[in-house]
Amino acid sequence: MSKLAELRNARWAPWMPAIIAVVAVALFPLFRPPLDATMSDVIQALAYVVMALGLNIVVGFAGLLDLGYVAFYAFGALAAGWFASDHFSKVNGGEGVHIGVSDFVQTAFPQGIHVSFLLIVIGAILVTALAGAVIGLPTLRLRGDYIAIVTLAFGEIISRFAANGDSVIIKGYALSNGRESISPIDQLNLPLVGEFDSATNLRFYFWTALALVLVVLFVNFRVRDSRLGRAWIALREDEVAAASMGVPLVRTKLTAYAIGATFGGIAGAFLGVYNNSVNANQFQFGISIFLLSMVILGGLGSIWGVVIGATLLSFVNTFLIPDVLDKGSFNDLLSNVGLDFTFGEVKFGVFGFILVLMMVLRPQGLLPERRRTAELTQGVGGDEAIVETRA
């Protein structure tokens, strides 16, 4: 056997393109200035990848359409807002609580609760997993489209509470600062590595975001190929058949909601810290749909597809629309033909358009999951099967 063939047959060979891509992305900040705009776009994109991968577990794997995913982003971000700022200013007699944070934070922010980033992430994971299961619980008996509406309603209720949180006062503390954001949030603070200042250097934020993506990707692949992941897919294809083959419906669905939700919490906590503020006004229904478009664009249930979909749409949001379409020659061209608008105003319309276009023309997404392709081309599984057995 030649050397080349040996390489091609190696167990890790299919992973080569992914490994090369990850290394290339990891090296990217070294070639850019420390406060590079593109770098911040990539950080934002990586955070969206984490959330989209979480939504993909619920919608893509388990086939439960969740239209209220923004709630978990809100929980994660609020966790950062509560436990890494002066928000609870009178706690511990005005002395504050500091766990695992640097001396700088202790002296600069004596009041409030200040907890190390890792602990916040762990806290956000626990809270969102619980919230995911609690929101999932009432949907268990419902049909697919009703699930979508109930999750949407929950998402809206939670975002209402966040947005009006300044009037919800519990023991002297507001739930959130509503339209005034909770700010400043402590900088990213990791044990053994130290504290990073996003005002001077974005590189460590970049690597942290990348590390989060890698962890989430690893979890995604392992869970998908596990017994649980196969149960999700069986559930998606045919709930009745799955149940009769011994898949425990309640537990399987609830774990899908819970695990999917945790990723939203992780990304939310990270974004809260990265943006240095938590503005409750940003937790809008539009974010849920933005994330759903990423999943649909990439391909429902396809992990790499979702990574690509999320990256693409995030760049459309942070780069293509503000820096290309709404600036310079393209915008001049638009106003010359009498179209006097910016794409920034209508960006959610653009994402809606992508949703419709993809569902009608290429429902399997840009990089389809192999199983899904078989379903769509050969009519295996899906709703038709149910209809036929009923008739």
Kindly provide the residue ranges of all beta strands, DSSP E only, lying in the chain, ordered along the sequence.
84-85, 97-99, 113-115, 169-170, 173-174, 189-190, 194-195
**Any contact of residue 360 with another protein (CB under 8 A)?**
yes
Q: Which is nearer to another protein, 21 or 346 (CB)?
A: 346
Please state the closest distance from residue 183 (CB atom) to another protein, in A.
22
Strands 97-99 and 113-115: parallel
Residues in 320-349 at the binding interface with another protein, rule: CB under 8 A: 341, 345-346, 348-349
Residues in 117-176 at the binding interface with another protein, rule: CB under 8 A: 138-139, 141-146, 148-150, 152-154, 156-157, 160-161, 163-164
Q: Which is nearer to another protein, 88 or 161 (CB)?
A: 161
Q: Rounded to 5, what percent of the chain is helix, strand, coil? A: 70, 5, 25
Q: Which is nearer to another protein, 24 or 360 (CB)?
A: 360
What would the DSSP string read from start to end of 245-275? TT--HHHHHHHHHHHHHHHHHHHHHHHHHHH
Interface segment toward another protein; rule CB under 8 A; list 10-18, 115-123, 258-266, 380-388: 380-388
**Any contact of residue 366 with another protein (CB under 8 A)?**
no
Helices and strands of the chain, counted as H and E runs: 17, 7
Q: Which is nearer to another protein, 11 or 390 (CB)?
A: 390
Ramachandran angles phi, psi of 342, nearest 5°: -110, 150
Which two three-digit tokens encode residue 235? 């559930």
**Which element (helix H / strand E) includes 59?**
none
Ramachandran angles phi, psi of 356, nearest 5°: -65, -50
Q: Which is nearer to another protein, 34 or 349 (CB)?
A: 349
Residues in 91-120 at the binding interface with another protein, rule: CB under 8 A: none
Please state the closest distance from residue 63 (CB atom) to another protein, in A.
8
Q: Which is nearer to another protein, 111 or 342 (CB)?
A: 342
Cα three-residue angle 52-53-54, rounded to 5 degrees: 90
User: Distance (Å, rounded) from C-alpha 302 to C-alpha 125?
Assistant: 23
CA distances from 219 to 122, 216, 223 (A): 15, 5, 6
Query: Which of 22, 219, 324, 355 forms a contact with another protein (CB under 8 A)?
Result: 355
Please state the closest distance from residue 137 (CB atom) to another protein, in A.
9
What would the DSSP string read from start to end of 69-93? THHHHHHHHHHHHHHEESSSTTGGG
Q: Which is nearer to another protein, 30 or 339 (CB)?
A: 339
Please state the closest distance from residue 59 (CB atom) to another protein, in A.
8
Site string for another protein, 292-311 (x = CB under 8 A): xx--x---------------
- Say if residues 73 and 51 touch (Cβ distance below 8 Å): yes
Burial 340-375 (b: 16+ CB within 10 A, else e): eeebeeebbebbeebeeebeeeeebbbbbbeebeeb
DSSP state of 47: H
Please state the closest distance from residue 155 (CB atom) to another protein, in A.
9
Residues in 187-246 at the binding interface with another protein, rule: CB under 8 A: none
Query: Which of 49, 50, 51, 65 forms a contact with another protein (CB under 8 A)?
Result: 65
Cα three-residue angle 71-263-287, rounded to 5 degrees: 40
Interface segment toward another protein; rule CB under 8 A; list 2-10, 11-19, 184-192, 358-366: 358-366
Query: Which of 88, 173, 221, 285 forms a contact with another protein (CB under 8 A)?
Result: 285
Which two three-digit tokens encode residue 100? 């695992």
Contacts with another protein: how many residues (CB under 8 A)? 48
Please state the closest distance from residue 248 (CB atom) to another protein, in A.
20
Give the footprint of another protein on this chain (CB under 8 A): 63, 65, 67, 138-139, 141-146, 148-150, 152-154, 156-157, 160-161, 163-164, 285-286, 289, 292-293, 296, 341, 345-346, 348-356, 359-360, 363, 382-384, 391
